Every structure is written in structure tokens, then in C-alpha cells.
Chain A
């Protein structure tokens, strides 16, 4: 085992890919599928089998082997796949996943017992193999060919010396018959084989015990024949002149001097190039560590810049410029390395949809688009659970049962689409369903019932506002907690998870026609472009991605609306935030920063704009508690700790 330890990571990574392909194609197969899907499944299982056997993970190998037997039959067309078999095979693939978990954790797959599945597969095999097994043996054909062989011996009367050869294949050889065929092939290239015992057909059928006798007419000599018959797994070769007893002078026959060999030496320098390893798999903790170091570099680069500016050291400018460029490149490179395509988590979802739909007795078509869009690994990690929850919701709560759908004049099969694309600053993930939509009235009455809002405010609420209620803690419209989506986690948790990734979530619903969830995520989390502003001499960082405009602030143009001030800017009434409680009172406010979150805008009045900068946002410690309005802090070059404004929670 230990000699394979070095391959464990690689094994797990590739096997997981194969497992994903397996599940993906099995779902295609379930929908009607094609021969390509069957071939792909066969290939995945075959690879899993080979790899697990190589690693010595025998339980996994056993399960895969049996699955392969089943698919061998399906592939050859001698059996068809039933819904029952498909379920069984999916259960098997679940077992494989558990085994891979076990292997990843250092085990050898034996902590998961596949007995039940293997037994069920074997039962299926015995039910379905009855006929084909009988067809395999064809004694009649064998005999006639054997006779043909004899005729050949009589007819072939060359003058060449004849030898009888006895070849014994090693006992521990796998596929003895093929060894025999290889030896026969080698001998045939040197002469004419006059007879076989057992016959060639018997060997072809795989009924070969390990000893082969044959007669050959050849003039290359005993030694050459012996060399030709000898090979891997050949225990012994006995050779003797046959009947005629005509001794043959043994001469050097062969072709030692091969031109290719000379070639080999000459090219050996070039080969080293081919041996270069092009891809490496790196432990993610090491990448995280490098990322931290890059962040430190970014902070210190800022410090260096400031020191040089303050002290007007010209000589340092050039050096700092170089460092600046290197650090930027390094930072970009690190960002790219950490990017993973969304398929990483998308690929698991068709299975989830299938399971939920089957459990609920629904028929759902699930489409994925844009899985190649890339996200930072840290964002990806936090996205898995919320996405899973939303998908379950869409099928469980969104899509109606086929009967209800048909009554409503819709096709019985529901439609759920998950798509992703990259916009200028964000990755947008969209989840669409053509289900019943969100029942706004039900949402409102539930919220009133739970004391989250008053009856009066419910009456004046817009649809958008009512839908937002879904995200309040403690809200759930499902009357009963279902096994599937109601695991005690509500949309509020989904919202919080997405916000902790510096993303946002939005819902649109169309009663009777379906819902649309939109997730807006930053492709990376750690390094953000910000605008540094000052209010009351203190600094504040505002993410550039949420700024839409910087305008002049004329105090006389403000209007009092309710409790706050507002300004009319380009025909829009925008609320003004002074942030007095955070930054202190200031008299010198001259600039308005207009910020936007989704469709809502507001503005922040500041004294001056200092400039744009790339900063590393460090999250606040949980000890600090509720910090609405601040997403984290950053350390600027001069060591000042500056809060980073969280626009999402302000507007």
C-alpha cells in the first residue's frame, strides 16, 4: 500500500472526476440516453476499476468490477437498462463516492461495505446472462476447424526442417491464452506452423490450460525459434527436431543492430524536455498561505510608496515602480490560480434535482449553462450549500406536481435552469423555474401571523417588498417541514451566506409562471478596488464596484424628506447619508458619492476624495458583533486601519 501513498491525491482527484462523469451520464441515460452515454459510463467505471485495483482498494475494485460486468452487457446490447437497474446503479455510485471519501481520509475503501449492491448487481446479472453464456460455447465449429488444421499439416510439405515445440506458460500469468497467441504469432513470423495442441480455436476461446505443443517448419534454426517463443510469463520452451531429424546448423540469425537504437542515444538530450511535468497538484493550504503573503506584500507596497512620497526620495521611485509591477502581476497570477470553474459544484446538482423530483413525484428538466465561468475557491466553498438549498427549493416548492401543471395549461414536465455568466465586476448566477411562483398573499399573511410585520404595512407592500420577507429570519412558507428542502434552514441563512461572500441575492416572481433567483457574487474576495474618502479627517474605503457617480454637493439643494435629507440628482431623488454616527460631524462636505446596490441608489456626503487603491479587506472578528454598514477593515500603507463600507446593507 505504502508505495502508492504518493498517488493517493491524484487517485482521489481523478476518480472524483470519473465518478461525476458516471453520474452525469447515468442521468442522461435515464432520460432516454444514447450509446455515447453508455460508452462513457463504461469507460468511467472501467477507469475507476483499474485505478482502485492499482491502489489496492479491493472493495472499490469489487464493486466497480461488478458494475462493469453489468454495463458490458448493456453496451453490447444484450440487456437493456430499466428504471430499477438505474436506481441500483445510482446507489452504487453513491457507495463509490463514500469510498472515495474514505480513501481521501486515508482509508482503503473498506470502511464502506458494498455487499448489498454487489449482491443485487450479481442477481441482475444471473437473471440476464442465462442465454448469452450458452451461446459462447460452439463445439461444432471447433471440430471442423480442427480438421482443417490437420489437412493443412498434410498439404504443407515443404523441405524445411520441422521442429516440435512445447511452450509452458507460467502459472501466475494472467490471460494465459493471450501469451500463447503471442508466442504463436512470433513463431509464425519465422516459419509455418503445421499443428497445434490444443487447437488454435480452443486457445482463441480462452480454454487454454497453460501448455502448448506445436510443430513448425522453419529454416531459422532452433535457437531463433526458442528466442521467438520465449517471453514474459513463459515458464519454459522445449524445442526438438521433429520426425525427419534433420539437424540444422544454428547460426546467428537475428537483427541485433537496429538503426533505432543509435537514434535513441542521439535524441536522449531532447527527451529530457518531454519528461517535464506540465501540471502540478498543490495542496490548497499552501496556496492560501501564498495568498496571505501576497496580501502582506500589497499592504507593504502601499507603505513603501507613501514613505517615498513623503520623503521625496527620487532614487526609490524607480525601484518601487518595479516592485509595484511585480506585486501586481503576482497578485493577478495568484487570483487566476485560485479560480475554479463553477462546474466544480454545478456537476453535482443534476443528481440532486433528480432525487428531489423523484421523491416528490415530479418530472423536471434541469438545464445548466455557463458552468465554465470561474470563481475564486473561497467564494466557491461558501456557495455550495446556499445553491443546493435554492435548487432543492425550486424543485420542491417551485415546480408543481404534473397534475396541477396540466390543469394550469402548462406541460407536465417542469423546467429548472441554472446559468452563470461573468459581468464586468461580478459573477451572476441565475436560477429559473417555471413553477407556480411565490404566493405573495400567503407570504404576507404568514409574516403577519409570525409577527414580523403589521397588517397595515402588509396592505401597502409592493410585490418586491413582500418577496423580501422570505429572507427574514424565522420565515418559512412550507406548512410542513419536508425531508427535502425543509432542513430547518431558511432563505435567511441562504441570504446571510451569500452576503458573507460579499454577494447579494434577489428574487423575482411571476405568479403561475415561476420564479427567478439571481445571485451576484464577486469573482474574488480578498482584494478589492476601493475609493478612499475622508469625512471629518477620518478615512473610509468605498468599494469602486458599488460607486456609480461622484458629484458636487451643494448644501442648498437638499430637501428634507421624512427623517433624512435627500437630493434631486438627474431626476432621481436620492437619500443622503452623512455617516455622522460613524465618522463624527463635519462641516466641510463638498462631494457626493452615489452608490448603488441592485436597483437602489443612495449617496454619501464626504469631505474629500483621496484616491483609488487596491486593498486587502480583512474580515472583522466575530467578537465585534453586529456591524451593519461595514464589511471589514483594511490597513493602508501608513498603517492606518480604515473601515470598508458595505453598501449592500445601507441602501
Chain B
């Protein structure tokens, strides 16, 4: 079970992901509402895994991913995506994302991806 940082600009999505992660027995290291905050929280909390939204204010998820990877090349980051964002996700994967989950989130899929990435 891992300690997870949730990054999304809406409380709604964060709550949704959080509750799914709780049911999987994970703990929440913290939450961030934009890319800049995500990097700051990553430094501070050193989570085992990050769920990263892509479209966010201030700094988007791809830039935040790169920022985190620069601090910690071993960082495990799962991108939160939606249908239609394939190109963005590919970019994220090339920049070092370890996995992705697709909205609308299905709890078993999310937990499976989290488990797999944590184990990788």
C-alpha cells in the first residue's frame, strides 16, 4: 500500500480519487490543485506515487511531471486522462509517466493501475 499525492484542480475529482484510493487501502500523502503546488508538495511529502491531472491552471500536468522527474527521476506518476487526450498522454509517457487512468474512473481499474505502478 502506498502513500499517494493527488493532483487535480477540482475538489470533486480529488475527492473521487481519494475515496477510491482509500477503499484500496492506500493512504493519502496530500493533495495539490495545480502543477506548481504539485512539485512543491512532492518535495515536501515524498509520496510513493502521484496521480496527475493534465489540464490544470498555472502549470499543466505534463510540465509538473517533468518538474518532479527532474527532482526525482524514480518518481512514479500516473496520469489522469480523458478520451481525446491520447497525444498528451503519449507526451507524458515519453517524459517518464509510469501509467495512466481514464476518466470516468472505474475504481477497480484505478486500483489495479496504482498497484502495478507501485510494484514496478
Contact B90 A178 (CB under 8 A): yes
Task: Verify if A361 is at the interface (C-beta below 8 Å from B).
Answer: no
CB distance from A298 to the nearest CB of B (A): 34
Collect the chain B residues with CB atoms within 8 Å of residue A56's CB: 104
Within 8 A of B (CB), among A39-61: 40, 42-43, 46-47, 49-51, 53-56
Q: Measured between C-beta atoms, what is the minimum distance from A137 to chain B in Å?
A: 15
Kindly list chain A residues whose C-beta atoms are within 8 Å of the C-beta of B2: 264
* Bound CA–CA A182/B16 (angstroms): 25
Distance in angstroms between the alpha carbons of A280 and B21 in the assembled complex? 20
Bound CA span A68–B83, Å: 11
Q: Mark B20-60, 1 if CB is under 8 A from A, else 0.
A: 00000001111000000000000001101000000111000
What is the size, in residues, of chain B's interface with A at 8 Å between Cβ atoms? 40
Complex: A232 Cα to B12 Cα, angstroms? 25
Q: Using Cβ atoms and an 8 Å threshold, which residues of chain B touch A232?
A: 99, 109, 112-113, 116
Find out whether the CB atom of B93 lies under 8 angstroms from the CB atom of A271. Answer: no
Name B74-120 residues within 8 Å CB distance of A.
Answer: 81-84, 86, 89-90, 93, 98-100, 102-105, 109, 112-113, 116, 120
Known: A51-B13, A206-B86, A232-B116. A178 touches B3 (CB 8 A): no
- How far, in whole Å, are A54 and B19 apart by their CA atoms in the complex? 13
**A186 contact set on B, CB distance < 8 A:** 120
Contact B12–A271 (Cβ < 8 Å) = no
Q: Is the CB of A50 within 8 A of B113?
A: no
Interface residues in A173-188 by Cβ distance below 8 A to B read: 174-175, 177-178, 181-182, 185-186
A contact residues, range: 35 or more
Contact, CB under 8 Å: B86 / A274: no
**Cross-chain contact of A178 among B10, B29, B56, B86 (Cβ < 8 A):** B86
* Chain B neighbourhood of A204, CB < 8 A: 90
Expressed in whole angstroms, the Cα–Cα distance for A316 and B100 within the complex equals 66
**Most chain B beta-carbon contacts within 10 A, residue among A14, A50, A65:** A50
Max chain B Cβ within 10 angstroms of own Cβ: one of A43, A55, A232: A232
How far, in Å, is B47 (CB) from chain A's closest CB?
A: 9
Asked if B109 and A65 sit within 8 Å, CB to CB, the answer is no
State the Cβ distance, B60 to closest chain A Cβ, in Å.
Answer: 9
Residue from B45, B82, B90, B120 within 8 A of A50 (CB atoms): B82
**Given known A51-B12, A264-B48, contact A175–B100 (CB-CB < 8 A):** yes
> Once bound together, how far apart are the Cα atoms of A264 and B2, in whole Å?
7
Residue of A nearest to B108 (CB): A232
Residue of A nearest to B5 (CB): A274
Inter-chain contacts of B105 with A (CB < 8 A): 54
Contact A65 B28 (CB under 8 A): no
Are the CB atoms of B55 and A42 closer together than 8 Å? Answer: yes
Residue of B nearest to A44 (CB): B55
Instruction: Report the separation of the CA atoms of residues A68 and B28 in the bound assembly, to the nearest whole angstrom.
Output: 31
Determine which of B3, B55, B57 lies in contact with A271 in the assembled complex, contact meaning CB atoms within 8 Å: B3
Is B71 engaged at the interface, CB distance under 8 Å to the other chain? no
**Can you name the residue of chain A whose Cβ is closest to the Cβ of B87?**
A206
Q: Does A10 contact B (CB under 8 A)?
A: yes
Choose from B30, B55, B90, B109 the contact partner of A47 (Cβ within 8 Å).
B55
Asked if A512 lies at the interface with its beta carbon under 8 angstroms from chain B, I say no
Over the window 254-274 of chain A, the binary record of Cβ atoms lying under 8 Å from chain B Cβ atoms (1 yes, 0 no) is 000000100110011001001
CA distance A264 to B118 in the complex (A): 12
Q: Are A178 and B89 touching (Cβ within 8 A)?
A: yes
> Is A65 within 8 A of B84, CB to CB?
yes
B86 to chain A, nearest CB (A): 6
Does chain B have a CB within 8 A of A415? Answer: no
Q: Please give, as numbers and ranges, the residues of chain B lying within 8 Å of A178 by CB-CB distance.
A: 86, 89-90, 93, 100
Give which listed residue, A53, A68, A231, contacts B99 with CB less than 8 A: A231
The answer to the question of A499 belonging to the interface, with a C-beta cut-off of 8 Å to chain B, is: no
A69 interface contact, C-beta 8 A: yes
Q: Does A11 touch B at the CB level, under 8 Å?
A: yes
Contact between chains at B120 and A14 (CB < 8 Å)? no
Please give, as numbers and ranges, the residues of chain B lying within 8 Å of A182 by CB-CB distance.
Answer: 93, 98-100
Using Cβ atoms and an 8 Å threshold, which residues of chain A touch B55?
A: 42-43, 46-47
Residues from chain A with Cβ under 8 Å of B113 in the complex: 231-232
Residues in A with CB closer than 8 Å to B1 are 264
Q: Check if B116 sits within 8 Å of A231, measured CB to CB.
A: yes
CB contacts (< 8 Å) of B109 on chain A: these are 232-233
Contact call A275/B27, Cβ cutoff below 8 A: yes
Separation in Å of the A394 CB from the closest CB of chain B?
A: 33
Cα-based distance from A172 to B46 in the complex (angstroms) = 34
**Which residues in window 152-196 of A have CB below 8 A to B?**
174-175, 177-178, 181-182, 185-186
A175 touches B102 (CB 8 A): yes
How long is the Cα–Cα vector from A203 to B28 in the complex, in angstroms?
34
Residues of chain B within 8 A of A230, CB atoms compared: 116
Q: Please pick, from A53, A181, A274, the residue contacting B82 in the complex, using a CB distance under 8 A.
A: A53
List B contacts of A10 (CB < 8 A): 11-12, 15
Query: Cβ of B86 and Cβ of A271 under 8 Å apart?
Result: no
CA distance A579 to B64 in the complex (A): 71
A54 touches B104 (CB 8 A): yes
Least distance between A208 CB and chain B CB atoms (Å) = 11
Determine the chain B residues whose CB is within 8 A of the CB of A175 once the complex forms.
81, 83, 86, 89, 100, 102
Residue contact B29 to A274, C-beta cutoff 8 Å: yes
- With contacts A51-B12, A185-B93, A206-B86 taken as known, whether A271 is within 8 angstroms of B28 at the C-beta atoms is yes
Complex CA–CA separation, A271 to B16 (angstroms): 19
Question: Is there contact, CB below 8 Å, between A69 and B84?
Answer: yes
Cα–Cα, bound, A206→B87 (Å): 9
CA–CA, A49 and B105, complex, Å: 13
Chain B residues in 8 Å Cβ range of A14: 10-12
Q: How far is the CA of A177 from the CA of B13 in the complex (A)?
A: 25
Q: Which chain A residue lies CB-closest to B103?
A: A50
- Name the residue on A nearest B120 (C-beta): A186
Closest chain A residue, CB of each to CB of B102: A174
Closest residue of A by beta carbon distance from B105: A54
Kindly list the 9 A-B residue pairs having the minimum CB-CB distance in the complex, ordered from nearest. A174-B102, A53-B104, A54-B104, A232-B113, A50-B103, A46-B55, A231-B116, A271-B27, A14-B12
12 A-B pairs with C-beta separation under 8 A: A7-B12, A49-B82, A51-B12, A51-B13, A53-B103, A68-B84, A178-B86, A178-B90, A178-B93, A182-B99, A186-B120, A263-B46
11 new A-B contacts, CB < 8 A, other than A47-B55, A51-B12, A264-B1, are A10-B15, A11-B12, A43-B55, A54-B103, A65-B84, A181-B93, A182-B98, A204-B90, A228-B120, A232-B112, A263-B46
